[in-house]
């Protein structure tokens, strides 16, 4: 290292003249960097293989179903894939994959130290990472929805504009749902080390069981509001090859459209949006508050 002395002089002049007292120092810049770092963490590595399988699943299923026996009605397939498979199984899984590890992954990998020693308060750190997680999951959900719709309607005679409108509405509703799931699982990740198990139990018991009971308890689930939004904005009437017609969503979701066609007993579209948004914000704020008071142990015993 012949030039080591000269290089040492560089350090002594202030890391290349980095003047931290001036306007060069910006918290917004730090946040943006953390946001980009989190996005990169989400998207690098072999996780793509698992994600690609998940993404292709509904679309692949649509192709398989359409190519076996007689073609299923498009709306029925749309309902099964976009409104049963995706919100019931894929959205919670994607949210669980990304959100429950926002802090836990950094802690397990012991890289959290590099974030904690930067001039970013811990609550801001959490919020920025959560926003990045929302971004990733929403982009993924939009991709997932577009792929699924393309596979379902590719050979359909439904006008492209109608399919695009339906796809847009579905993507918007599911994005809101995944944002809410992320916020809930992010909070779980700070409340318990077993966030994955608790998250799965939540998904199975609350979003799986409670949501499918024709009782008011379903109003405590994310999927209920997602379904109401879907039902208020999309049509789920299916016409079968033999001429039978039925409303698959109303039947499957226990919506009594016969006596209450306007769904007056259920929240309105705006209320659903508000409920999910408020849940997301409240969970994120609570988690950020927890985060700001929390010690993140690296190389020291966990118990305090």
According to CB under 8 A, which residues from 181 to 240 bind other proteins?
A: 194, 196-197, 200, 240
Cβ of residue 224: shortest distance to other proteins, in angstroms?
A: 19
Nearer to other proteins, 69 or 264 (CB): 69
By CB under 8 A, is residue 54 in contact with other proteins? Answer: yes
Size of the site for other proteins (CB under 8 A): 90
Cβ of residue 149: shortest distance to other proteins, in angstroms?
A: 16
By CB under 8 A, is residue 262 in contact with other proteins? Answer: no
CA 240, distance to chain mean position in Å, is 34
Give the Cα separation of 114 and 118 in Å (integer).
7
Give the Cα separation of 177 and 108 in Å (integer).
28
**Count of CB atoms situated within 10 Å of the CB of 16:** 7
From 45-53, 135-143, 170-178, 214-222, give the range in contact with other proteins by CB under 8 A: 45-53
By CB under 8 A, is residue 67 in contact with other proteins? Answer: no
Nearer to other proteins, 165 or 204 (CB): 204
By CB under 8 A, is residue 82 in contact with other proteins? Answer: no
- Angstrom CA distances, 129 to 36, 48, 52, 132, stand at 9, 20, 23, 5
Nearer to other proteins, 141 or 272 (CB): 141
Start-to-end C-alpha separation, the chain: 46
238: helix, coil or strand?
Answer: strand
Nearer to other proteins, 212 or 277 (CB): 212
Work out which of 39, 56, 120, 269 binds other proteins, going by CB under 8 A: 120
Work out which of 39, 63, 89, 172 binds other proteins, going by CB under 8 A: 89
From 34-42, 152-160, 169-177, 265-273, give the range in contact with other proteins by CB under 8 A: 34-42
Give the Cα separation of 119 and 1 in Å (integer).
33
Give the Cα separation of 59 and 57 in Å (integer).
5
By CB under 8 A, is residue 260 in contact with other proteins? Answer: no
Which residues, numbered 268-297, are part of the site for other proteins (CB under 8 A)? 292, 295-297
Angle between helices 47-67 and 122-153 (to 10 degrees): 20
Give the Cα separation of 30 and 69 in Å (integer).
56
Nearer to other proteins, 168 or 296 (CB): 296
Work out which of 42, 59, 72, 188 binds other proteins, going by CB under 8 A: 72
By CB under 8 A, is residue 29 in contact with other proteins? Answer: yes
Residues contacting residue 114 through CB under 8 Å, at least 6 positions apart:
none
Give the Cα separation of 284 and 302 in Å (integer).
24
Residue in 172, 163, 149 with CA at minimum distance from that of residue 78 = 149
DSSP letters, 134-164, are: HHHHHHHHHHHHHHHHHHHHTT--S-HHHHH
Decide: 238 and 248 in contact? Cβ < 8 Å. Answer: yes
By CB under 8 A, is residue 139 in contact with other proteins? Answer: no
Cβ of residue 55: shortest distance to other proteins, in angstroms?
A: 12
Work out which of 63, 116, 279, 290 binds other proteins, going by CB under 8 A: 116
Work out which of 88, 212, 233, 277 binds other proteins, going by CB under 8 A: 88
Cβ of residue 79: shortest distance to other proteins, in angstroms?
A: 10
């Amino acid at each position: 290292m012949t030039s080591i002395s000269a290089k040492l002089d560089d350090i002594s002049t202030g890391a290349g003249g980095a003047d931290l007292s001036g306007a060069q120092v910006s918290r917004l810049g730090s946040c943006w960097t953390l946001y980009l770092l989190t996005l990169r963490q989400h998207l690098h590595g072999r996780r793509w293989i698992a994600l690609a399988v998940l993404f292709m699943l509904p679309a692949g299923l649509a192709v398989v179903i359409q190519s076996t026996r007689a073609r299923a009605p498009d709306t029925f397939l749309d309902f099964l894939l976009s409104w049963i498979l995706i919100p019931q199984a894929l959205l919670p899984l994607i949210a669980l994959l990304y959100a429950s590890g926002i802090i836990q992954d950094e802690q397990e990998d012991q890289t959290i130290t590099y974030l904690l020693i930067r001039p970013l308060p811990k609550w801001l750190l959490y919020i920025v990472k959560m926003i990045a997680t929302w971004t990733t999951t929403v982009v993924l959900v939009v991709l997932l929805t577009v792929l699924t719709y393309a596979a379902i309607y590719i050979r359909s005679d439904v006008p492209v504009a109608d399919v695009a409108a339906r796809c847009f509405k579905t993507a918007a509703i599911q994005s809101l749902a995944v944002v809410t799931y992320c916020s809930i699982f992010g909070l779980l990740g700070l409340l318990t080390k077993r966030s994955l198990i608790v998250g799965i139990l939540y998904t199975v018991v609350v979003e799986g069981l409670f949501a499918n009971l024709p009782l008011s308890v379903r109003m405590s689930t994310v999927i209920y509001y997602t379904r109401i939004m879907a039902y208020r904005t999309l049509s789920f009437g299916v016409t079968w090859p033999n001429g039978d017609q039925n409303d698959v969503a109303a039947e499957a979701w226990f919506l009594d459209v016969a006596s209450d066609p306007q769904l007056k007993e259920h929240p309105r579209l705006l209320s659903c949006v508000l409920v999910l948004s408020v849940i997301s914000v409240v969970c994120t704020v609570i988690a950020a508050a927890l985060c700001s008071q929390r010690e993140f142990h690296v190389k020291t015993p966990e118990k305090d």
